[in-house]
Chain A
Amino acid sequence: MNSTGSKNGISLAVEVAGIRMKNPIMPASGTFGYGEEYAPYIDLDNLGAIVTKGLSLAPKAGNPTPRITETVSGMLNAIGLQNVGVDAFIEHKMPFLRELNTPVIANFFGNTLEEYGEVASRLDAIPELAGVELNISCPNVKKGGIVFGTDPKAAFEAVSTVRKRLSKPLIVKLTPNVTDITDIARAAEDAGADALSCINTITGMAIDVRRRRPRIANLTGGLSGPAIRPVAVRMVYQVVNAVSIPVIGVGGISTAEDALEFLIAGASAVQVGTANFVDPDAMQKVIDGLERFCLEEGVDDIRSLIGSLEVA
């Protein structure tokens, strides 16, 4: 059951942006709370890392309800980034996370460059944080609401603002809601990102035809779950080939085979999101499945699978 870095002579350990992980599996931000919510169901120390809910400078209330709806093999959410705020995170959530024997990565966002910078420096001051993940899928309220992550220049500015205030490893999480994700990936790399994670949710919509109303109050929401996996694999593959920093694959992973698709496409690690809701033990099963796969395939170091895709 207990999957550590090496068992049966197989090493699952990876290193991303200088963060050492006993395996390449971590939760996707916003699907795992602050870790403690899932502590009764999965041994958190078995995970490669823990990624927190997205944090902002001030606590954020989030969107009106309904906030979620199920779609075919996926779900739409418009939670609206509800979170306790960075100070309450430090006071109330870090004491639990600090005791874990696994790296903790804090996901965060802002609505202005100043906010991004300020949250970054507060997170940088937490010794027990292994790194941060910067969510740039947010509108810049000072610039007419343009989403930082959909414009290479705005993305560059956001990432470099954070980089200046941060000495910890910086992962930048990309939105798929763009024409060419590699433009944004390169901008983030140029601005000093240590790694990229992709993808965030894909904007979607669902309608209750009888009531002639949107199924979620926010009208549109982010699509996640198995339905988005092929899009995510494609984007990870494109990004891996466009940058030279490591890439973390996210999107629709619920099994070891799903995770392997991303690793083989070139991801150095992966995040599991919606699948945690379906099965709180999903990540443990992915980890165990990776080990089994390596055993069956005669792979003694999982890193040898990364980017092993053969294209005729």
Chain B
Amino acid sequence: MPNFKTRILANQEIAPGYWRMRIQAPGAVADCKPGQFLMFRVQLSLLPLLRRPFGIFRTGFQPSDVDGLPPVEYLEILYKIVGQGTAMMSELHQGDRVEILGPLGRGFSAGATGREKILVGGGIGLVPLFMLAQDLVEKNRVRLLMGGRTRDDIIAITEFERLGVETYTATEDGSLGEQGLVTDVLEAKLKEIGEADVFACGPMPMLQAVQKICARYEAPLQVSLEALMACGVGACLGCVVKGAGHSEQTPRYLCTCKEGPVFRAEQLDWDLMDATESSCEGCK
């Protein structure tokens, strides 16, 4: 399913400012790997011009609305309204035609079987973790640590619970779960269990804190990054991040769209990572 025209099956607000869009996508179940993303063409006209990147939340089949026809294969994205493009997306309806490029990028790798898995999500950063959780729960104990500013930022958590994932929430204002930062929960859990693989997606300051904690506990970490993207396929070089060992003299830029969006923590230069870059408005 490289670049294809399709139609929206559903588009609903699931929490204030957060939307879920279900899109018909033949082949999605087999093709989409956890952590991959797609480029969504908001309009066939020129505003906005560039496609917008979104993580693939889940894939599946729904019964056809016509009796006797086979089930309809779909994928879902969850998005937060942060600007013009996402605002326009929220105006789309069931049956509207859309164009999608994907699945794109490198996703998560599962890590050693049997070792505990900790997923850390900040706000909309939870998106790429769902399909990962689906894969991981088969053979591992999986916990999701979910953080947000308020209870409104904690989305889709029951879907993780239905998979059998243990969930922990932390909100900065204490309106849901523990009051505080999700990274404090991570630290406590790592102290408690000792050994775990960590997978994280969220705002850059959160990822930076997660990286420090994981380094301290020697926990293997994979992160999913965001960047401004034009092409999504490695052609424009607009989406790069600084790789480990980067310097003016030995530049090591990695393409977020092609070599990422999921990176092993060791691949990146955390000291040079700007807290404002590679983390989207939706995650802040």
Nearest CB on A from B267, distance (A)? 16
Say yes or no: is B68 at the interface (Cβ < 8 Å to chain A). Answer: no
Query: Given A70-B48, A82-B253, does the pair A276, B231 have CB atoms closer than 8 Å?
Result: yes
Taking CB atoms, residues of chain A closer than 8 Å to B51 are: 277-278
Interface size class of A (residues with CB under 8 A): 20 to 34
Asked if A226 CB lies within 8 Å of chain B CBs, one says yes
Task: Please pick, from B3, B230, B232, B248, the residue contacting A68 in the complex, using a CB distance under 8 A.
Answer: B230
Docked-complex contact B3 and A65, CB < 8 angstroms: no
Contact of A65 among B41, B233, B236, B240 (CB under 8 A): B240
Q: Write out, one digit per residue, whether chain B residues 175-195 have a CB within 8 A of any chain A CB (1) or not (0).
A: 000000000000000000000
Contact yes or no, B278 A65, CB < 8 A? yes
| Pair B3/A31 contact, Cβ less than 8 Å | no
Tell me whether B87 is interfacial, beta carbon within 8 Å.
no
B238 lies within 8 A of A77 (CB)? yes
Please indicate the chain B residues that have their CB under 8 angstroms from the CB of A79 in the complex: 236-238
- Tell whether A68 pairs with B236 under 8 Å between CB atoms, given A274-B49, A278-B49: yes
Query: Given known contacts A225-B49, A226-B46, is B230 in contact with A277 (CB within 8 Å)?
Result: yes
Given known pairs A41-B2, A41-B3, A62-B253, the reply for A73 and B241 (CB within 8 Å) is no
In which size bucket is the chain B interface? Answer: 20 to 34
* A272 → chain B closest CB, angstroms: 13
Bound CA–CA A276/B235 (angstroms):
10
**B47 part of interface (Cβ distance < 8 Å):** yes
Interface presence of B234 (CB below 8 A):
yes
B contact residues around A278 at 8 Å (CB): 41, 49-51
Tell me which residues across on chain B come within 8 A of A30, comparing CB atoms: 236
Complex Cα gap A170–B47 (Å): 37
Provide the bound-state CA to CA distance between A250 and B223, in Å.
Answer: 39
Q: Does B228 contact A (CB under 8 A)?
A: yes
Known pairs A32-B235, A61-B248; list 10 more (Cβ under 8 Å). Answer: A38-B235, A75-B230, A82-B237, A274-B49, A276-B231, A277-B51, A278-B49, A279-B41, A279-B99, A280-B2
Instruction: Give 28 A-B contacts (CB < 8 Å), ordered by A residue.
Output: A40-B2, A61-B251, A65-B227, A65-B228, A65-B278, A66-B228, A67-B228, A68-B230, A68-B236, A68-B238, A69-B228, A70-B50, A73-B47, A75-B230, A77-B230, A77-B238, A79-B237, A82-B253, A225-B49, A226-B49, A278-B49, A278-B51, A279-B3, A279-B41, A280-B3, A280-B101, A280-B231, A280-B233
Chain A residues proximal to chain B, CB less than 8 Å: 30-33, 37-38, 40-41, 53, 61-62, 65-70, 72-75, 77, 79, 82, 225-226, 254, 274, 276-281
